[in-house]
Amino acid sequence: MAFVNMKTKEVQAKIVFYGPGRGGKTSNLEYIYSKFRERIKSEMVSIKTHGDRTLFFDFLPFDIGKIMGYDVKVQLYTVPGQVKYDATRKLVLKGVDGIVFVADSQVEQRKKNVLSLKNLQENLSTYKKSIFKVPLVLQYNKRDLKDVPLLPIEVMDKDLNSQLKVPSFPASAVTGHNVVPTLKKIISATMASLQNVLK
């Protein structure tokens, strides 16, 4: 649940980038960090293994200015995607206000996307949260790849979004294509869901 201070008119919301290992979650945060460096007062925190994989999570606090009279800060987190780190994923989801699900567009990763989305649904349910109610945006990442077969957008929609029917973006966390629109969408969806609290 977001932290709201009515007196100082501050809101702090938690947004988690979820998805299969190596899908591009950390790369999204790195792009956001490079793009908005002047608004980000601290370093991006990344806890990585030797192989450069996310071990616990990445963390990026981000000032987005005033919305509805409140000074809004979002905290962006990523989870480690590998199956064995499920306990950490669960922990990072605690108190989540909005989620970006980063899917890997490579044909080879099709099954992993579906399993990871299912894992998200299961882990949310341990907090009595429904994947159908939490603010959620899908990102079909790595659309820039040229040398490997990619899943058509319609197939990804069918696999991941036929029931959820949430906003989705084809994107590239490496070129930055649609990274900021993905972020803006999840921030606005998250703020909309907090509206009742802020009134």
Ligand X SMILES: Nc1nc2c(ncn2[C@@H]2O[C@H](COP(=O)(O)OP(=O)(O)O)[C@@H](O)[C@H]2O)c(=O)[nH]1
Considering only 33, 81, 103, 169, the residue that binds ligand X (CB under 6 A) is 81
Q: CA 162 to CA 1: how far, in whole Å? A: 27
For 1, 98, 152, 187, the CA distances from 15, given in Å and listed in that order, are 11, 5, 27, 8
Q: How far is the CB of 151 from ligand X (least distance, A)?
A: 14
Residue 27 touches which of ligand X, Mg ion, none (Cβ within 5-8 Å per kind): ligand X
For 41, 61, 76, 169, 192, the CA distances from 12, given in Å and listed in that order, are 15, 9, 11, 25, 14
Binding residues for ligand X, rule CB under 6 A, total 18
Q: How far is the CB of 72 from Mg ion (least distance, A)?
A: 25
Q: How far is the CB of 194 from ligand X (least distance, A)?
A: 27
Q: For strand 54-67 and strand 70-78, is the pairing parallel, antiparallel, or unpaired?
A: antiparallel
Considering only 15, 32, 78, 124, the residue that binds ligand X (CB under 6 A) is 78
Amino acid at 110: R
Residue 135 near ligand X by CB under 6 A: no
Q: Which is nearer to ligand X, 1 or 115 (CB)?
A: 115
Q: Where are the alpha helices (DSSP H) in the chain?
A: 25-35, 86-93, 110-125, 153-161, 179-198
The conformation of residue 37, written as its DSSP 8-state character, comes to G
State the chain's maximal CA–CA distance in angstroms.
54
Residue 144 near ligand X by CB under 6 A: yes
Q: Which of residues 4-43 bind Mg ion (CB under 5 A)?
A: 25-26
Q: How far is the CB of 124 from ligand X (least distance, A)?
A: 19
Residue 112 near ligand X by CB under 6 A: no
Residue 100 touches which of ligand X, Mg ion, none (Cβ within 5-8 Å per kind): none
* Candidate ranges 11-19, 51-59, 63-71, 101-109; the one touching Mg ion (CB under 5 A): 51-59
Spell out the residues 6+ positions from residue 48 whose beta carbon is closer than 8 angstroms to its own. Answer: 54, 55
Query: Which residues lie near Mg ion (CB under 5 A)?
Result: 25-26, 54
Q: Can you give the binding site for ligand X, defined by CB under 6 A? A: 19, 21-27, 54, 78, 81, 141-142, 144-145, 172-174
